[in-house]
Chain A
């Protein structure tokens, strides 16, 4: 059964790692400059010089996709990082103090859950104008309650363990206990959640960019490539298919990776399946 569990992990890694590698390569090299327009050579079919052809403005599609992957990964990383750390801190706070603090934090988290990210992003865009940073803020915001919940649940379990009792008996305060004993022991579920949220964030970024609330031109983005290709669906359907495929691979990859990580790190699942 172990092999079955590992499949998710390996499949996820097989999708994600090449993508990260390609993103890294695009930072120093892409086949063409993504801002280079060559209108005379628009809608070129795939060829040795343009692997995936060119778009309606004659830009190299492969280069665009490569650059856009950096955008997607950065947005996901920053947003999950920001929302995640804030959420984990809130969850740890709730768990450490319990009582009304815990109730307050968790009810706020419920409130956050009830708030659609897209709506929040549209709100931010209306108030401050559409921009990539507003999209990041919106995605970070929806991550806060997710991580608060995971962190608090995991931390509550760790608080009941004997070594925390021993720390208390050694006169350590809540803050010390939280950072030295609780946080390292909830790292596994947090990392798993972060990987899954990474997939969600990539999808959210694509959606926001598609709606014009995310990356602004000329910054390449899968979501915007998709929306631009929409009007050309009958003329050049491949221009919509390529970014769509990229989104699918990224979301599926991180999703599988997260599931696989959870499967191998969660002892409860191990018992059930073993």
Chain B
């Protein structure tokens, strides 16, 4: 569905993404985790051809057999909605406050598929039904502010699915929602991906949400994928020091843990232009080797379909 090779995004001399490789097969659900500034949203946008004007991108992208390498806006527009679609973090902000939500969802149907007004309307109601919106006919005529957060996100999912895309990129779709609603949205995304054989890229900083949604997980740090593999493998035996730190920093439940201090990864993510040339994590890493800051570690297999990019791997410790 998606084959991305050596994607690098630069803002001037700063690299927002460095050498990202990504493949997705139909129906595959990939979770991307990382903290703010790790480049995960940038990766989502680059797969939509929606990077800011100031960004320069290199690398190859193929989407559903179409080579999008260096594609112009017009060719991107032609595949958006029909091959790749995206949903966003803040469902209220992502809906035009002055349009009835039904009309918003109708737009791509009329534009891309040339549906008549009636056909588009019928399809929207069907989509609302499919995404679990109760009373679709009434909701069709409502404005975004009249809906609840979960309903708004369902409307946005309907909008994204309108033209039956092969890939759905969900950029932190549950961050703005409360935990209960978030669960139902992630379950909905999983169900839709399975039913439609649609690939899903689930971007989040919530490890639990990713574990629930995705089959595979890619951990990003400083614009790179530092570790990737099946969710279970990565979470149970993380190999990259960053992934290990990330997992340790999760609070544990239970009476015995109440007074424990959480271990944290020291420091904060450096600014884009201050990132080390070598391993992006050097400087914050507890097990750093002398050459880490200058030499870029290659991605090495550490298990079945499980890779990590760290100089420690395979090196004598």
Contact of B48 with A169 in the complex, beta carbons under 8 Å? yes
Number of A-B contacts (CB under 8 A): 71
Q: Select B88's contact among A166, A173, A180, A185, beta carbons within 8 Å.
A: A166
Please, which residues of chain B bring their CB within 8 A of the CB of A171?
77-82, 108, 111-112, 163
Q: Is B57 close to A, CB under 8 A?
A: no
A163-B95 contact in complex given A98-B53, A170-B162, A180-B107, C-beta closer than 8 Å: yes
For residues 120 through 177 of chain A, which have their beta carbon under 8 Å from a beta carbon of chain B?
161-163, 165-173, 176
Contact of A172 with B111 in the complex, beta carbons under 8 Å? yes
Please, which residues of chain A bring their CB within 8 A of the CB of B98?
184-185
Q: In the complex, which residue of chain B has the Cβ closest to the Cβ of A98?
A: B53
A176-B111 contact in complex given A170-B81, A171-B163, C-beta closer than 8 Å: yes
Q: In the complex, which residue of chain B has the Cβ closest to the Cβ of A187?
A: B98
Contact of A170 with B108 in the complex, beta carbons under 8 Å? yes
Q: Once bound together, how far apart are the Cα atoms of A165 and B81, in whole Å? A: 12
> Least Cβ distance of A7 to chain B in Å?
28
Q: Is A50 close to B, CB under 8 A?
A: no
> Main SS of chain A's interface residues?
helix
For residues 176 through 194 of chain A, which have their beta carbon under 8 Å from a beta carbon of chain B?
176, 180-181, 184-185
Please, which residues of chain A bring their CB within 8 A of the CB of B107?
167, 170, 172, 176, 180
Q: Select A170's contact among B53, B80, B93, B99, beta carbons within 8 Å.
A: B80
Q: In the complex, which residue of chain A has the Cβ closest to the Cβ of B156?
A: A166
> Least Cβ distance of B261 to chain A in Å?
37
Contact of B160 with A169 in the complex, beta carbons under 8 Å? yes
A162-B163 contact in complex given A170-B108, A171-B77, C-beta closer than 8 Å: no
Chain B contact patch, size range: 20 to 34
Please, which residues of chain B bring their CB within 8 A of the CB of A168?
48, 50, 80
> Least Cβ distance of B123 to chain A in Å?
14
Q: Once bound together, how far apart are the Cα atoms of A184 and B104, in whole Å? A: 13
Q: Select B81's contact among A169, A180, A181, A185, beta carbons within 8 Å.
A: A169
A170-B85 contact in complex given A98-B53, A162-B90, A176-B111, C-beta closer than 8 Å: yes
Contact of A185 with B96 in the complex, beta carbons under 8 Å? yes
For residues 26 through 64 of chain B, which have their beta carbon under 8 Å from a beta carbon of chain A?
48, 50, 53
Contact of A181 with B96 in the complex, beta carbons under 8 Å? yes
Q: Is B86 close to A, CB under 8 A?
A: yes
Q: Is B94 close to A, CB under 8 A?
A: yes
For residues 75 through 109 of chain A, which have their beta carbon under 8 Å from a beta carbon of chain B?
98
Q: Once bound together, how far apart are the Cα atoms of A162 and B85, in whole Å? A: 14
For residues 71 through 130 of chain B, which have their beta carbon under 8 Å from a beta carbon of chain A?
77-82, 85-88, 90, 93-99, 107-108, 111-112
Q: Which 4 A-B pairs have the closest CB atoms?
A: A171-B80, A171-B81, A162-B93, A169-B86
Q: List 10 A-B contacts (CB under 8 A).
A: A161-B93, A163-B94, A163-B95, A166-B159, A168-B50, A169-B85, A170-B160, A170-B162, A171-B112, A184-B96
Knowing that A170-B162, A171-B80 touch, tell me 10 more A-B residue pairs with CB under 8 angstroms: A98-B53, A162-B94, A163-B97, A170-B107, A170-B160, A171-B108, A172-B77, A172-B111, A180-B99, A181-B99
